[in-house]
Amino acid sequence: MITKSAIRAAAAVALVLATPALAQDLKLPRQKVELVAPPYAHPHEQVAKQGPKIMEFRLTVEEKRIVIDDMGTKLQAMTFNGSIPGPLMVVHEGDYVEVTLVNPETNSMPHNIDFHGATGASGGGDLTLVNPGERVVLRWKATRTGVFVYHCIPGGIGPMVPWHIASGMSGTVMVLPRDGLKDAASKPLHYDRVYYLGEQDFYVPRDAKGNFKTYDTHIDAFEDTLDAMRKLIPTHVVFNGRVGALTGKDAMPAKVGETVLIVHSQVDRDSRPHLVGGHGDYVWETGKFSNPPMTSLETWFIRGGSAGAALYTFLQPGIYGYVNHNMIEAFELGATAHFRVEGTWNHDLMTQVKAPEPVQASVSLR
């Protein structure tokens, strides 16, 4: 008797056997991309100069303990390529994204990737599940333009999924239109720099005295971390892996007159980015370039489980705060970054008419 389980198993085997033939059928040029750690992005064309390619990327899972604030709080993190967030991968519509996922034998757990920009069950998660000491290659066609998150969903069920995500396993793929970004009137838009900020909520367990706990291994941390996560109250909300990661000497540089594309992801929770002293000249709030961008926004909205993009041309020099405008999360939990902009001050846009001085007491007429 042929069971449904047998049919599903046979279908899975057929799919696996068909994959090599499909790979040979793609007569397209290949481009191997060397990924860089956020907030930076690898070199890429804003307007495609050739036809579709197979874009090759390599992601290596790294389980490691990291420090996430100036108090020395330690987290048993899980990362793609050692960074939180994982690298930004840039392709064009019609390209094929071919990712080699490596899970070194030094790791302790299985991992995979769900690509929000891909079409197929689990976003490729079922086809990329690798145990320690294994690697896998997945290819998917970029059929939709925009910025799309990717993250780990090991097994697709149970507490492993939120734990791996809350431990840092997410990143973003940007799929550009082949003819580049455009405004609502189809006028071309260009950027001089691109920065990728991954907003991450952490849930670090505390001891009976309220101090953050430290664990020797991921497994040791699991039960307490899961209990902290279920309360839905993060201990840290940060950009790029730790409090202050993009401030001070690590602030993102720019110059007056430059247009910067800001890519912002949040895999778990909603966020409200605000550029203090600047604006969103053009904002794809939902992150999809097939939709016309909104203009002149003061604050925009990033839905949990998605990425968004904003263009801004800096008009004044100085330090610009980039915050989650839930100011408690920005100032108390860490969701603050800085842009350091060089150039000449424009007094027509803003000037101090009179410097601070003592207030003169009014004279009584009685």
Which amino acids are annotated catalytic? 111, 114, 116, 151-152, 164, 169, 274, 298-299, 325
Nearest alpha carbon to residue 61 among 214, 168, 221, 140 = 168
Angle at 173 between CA 200 and CA 92, to 5 degrees: 160
- Rounded CA-CA distance 267/201 in Å is 9
* Pairing state between β 114-115 and 273-275: unpaired
- Rounded CA-CA distance 79/82 in Å is 5
Are 175 and 93 in contact, with CB atoms under 8 Å apart?
A: yes
Strands annotated E in the chain: 30-32, 54-67, 74-80, 88-92, 96-103, 114-115, 134-141, 146-151, 170-176, 193-202, 236-239, 252-255, 259-266, 273-275, 280-284, 294-297, 306-313, 318-324, 336-342
The dihedral sign for the CA sequence 244, 250, 252, 254? positive
SS3 298: coil
